[in-house]
Structure 1
């Protein structure tokens, strides 16, 4: 009799737990696995960096269960387009604003332009600085409308890599003329051969979600949690 009672109580407790979990909003969010110190996969493959920590804080403040996954940036954007994941650390542009829901800004990133000291390249003024030259960029990244247009027209050669360290090495070896990268990411990789040649842009980063009615409700809670008390 006692065993039956205990089994019944255990079953009841499990049902209550499952019911509570089912009622708790849940969200899967992808971050770039190769963009330290902002977002990356640690040596064990776990998500790490500034945005991973921000998402942990956001989950605690909003009451939303947020599952964070680190992966290649192109895959993260593909999952966002499929509607299976949100993406943190993403820039905004008009096309993305139409397709996705955007949170309040998470952070301000400074994108700077770099060259080899030995090449004596011109300092960056605008996209025309890159005319006919090889520019290192990251796969799947949006830099600006002007840059995208120049790239599409063939006015510059955008050379893609999956991580900043690859672009830095190519620039050091003379396989690139310029490199665009986040200042905090490039600084520890520069050494004494490279130099900063100007600021390309200062960009807000966001959490983007697939555009659904359910996510609109989650976004209200997310933005409330992002607003300083």
Structure 2
């Protein structure tokens, strides 16, 4: 175990202390969603992305508190509820750039097209190649800027689901041709969701990813939000984001 990772584990432990120094730290309160393995109330430290964000804030001298909501509610509460300082994780998008003070990159999300294994598709060189298909997406999610722009212009047809789990189920039953999903989320759901039991053998993802998105925190666009974004950036310098993510996911799958 490297010294850097031991320090991160210590920081995570400190964040769990009730009483004493940890309770005296200023609190950052963020809204999030149930999106394992990145964010989940059922996983150690709340999932890999929550654990990473907590470690960076601890290094910056803050204590993180997180509440979980459906995605659209998490975005609304993060931006408009006085109890919250922001929400996470967010992809870069025109709306995020407009509405948020965005943190530095705190992880990444490989966005892929998933299909049934018994279906064949020509290589996808860009989102324009997808216009002939109806693509399954999740309500309220950003996908890629180019894809979402095509949807907004009416060039791209989509079939909207309420969750990634529902989207995968629709794909397995042939109700959509392709879906957009994070590769790690897809792997986690196929391995752990009772609803999707047995469907792992039916589904696959196309390579390479449609896009590898960065994961960011969206802080409220006010003076306090700017302060938190700057503080988080300082704390993040003490975290090797890619190594932290790799180690967490590796331990999770053992």
Q: Cα offset for 1:97?
A: 1.4
Structure 1 distance, partners of 2:68, 2:31, is 6
Partner of 2:229: 219
Instruction: Decide which moves more: 105-114 or 133-142.
Output: 133-142
Q: Cα offset for 1:94?
A: 3.0
TM-score by length of 2: 0.73
Give the 5 Å matches for 1:73-152: 73-82=71-80, 84=82, 85=84, 86-152=86-152
Structure 2 distance, partners of 1:83, 1:101, is 16
Q: Cα offset for 1:118?
A: 2.0
Structure 2 distance, partners of 1:55, 1:91, is 15
- 5+ long unaligned stretches in structure 2: 1-18, 191-198, 240-254
Larger Rg: 1
The size of the alignment, in residue pairs, is 207
Structure 1 distance, partners of 2:123, 2:167, is 19
Given that 2:103 and 2:218 are in contact with CA atoms closer than 8 Å, whether structure 1 keeps it comes out as: yes
Deviations 1:173-197 (A, max 9, x none): 1101101111111124261212222
Q: Cα offset for 1:24?
A: 4.6
Given that 1:113 and 1:124 are in contact with CA atoms closer than 8 Å, whether structure 2 keeps it comes out as: no
- 5+ long unaligned stretches in structure 1: 1-16
Structure 2 distance, partners of 1:166, 1:173, is 11
Structure 1 residue 178 corresponds to structure 2 residue 187? no
Please give the root-mean-square deviation of Cα atoms over the aligned residues, in Å. Answer: 2.4
Structure 2 distance, partners of 1:165, 1:228, is 34
Partner of 1:207: 217
Given that 1:122 and 1:197 are in contact with CA atoms closer than 8 Å, whether structure 2 keeps it comes out as: no
Runs of 4+ in 1 over 4 A off after TM superposition: none
Structure 2 distance, partners of 1:77, 1:119, is 35
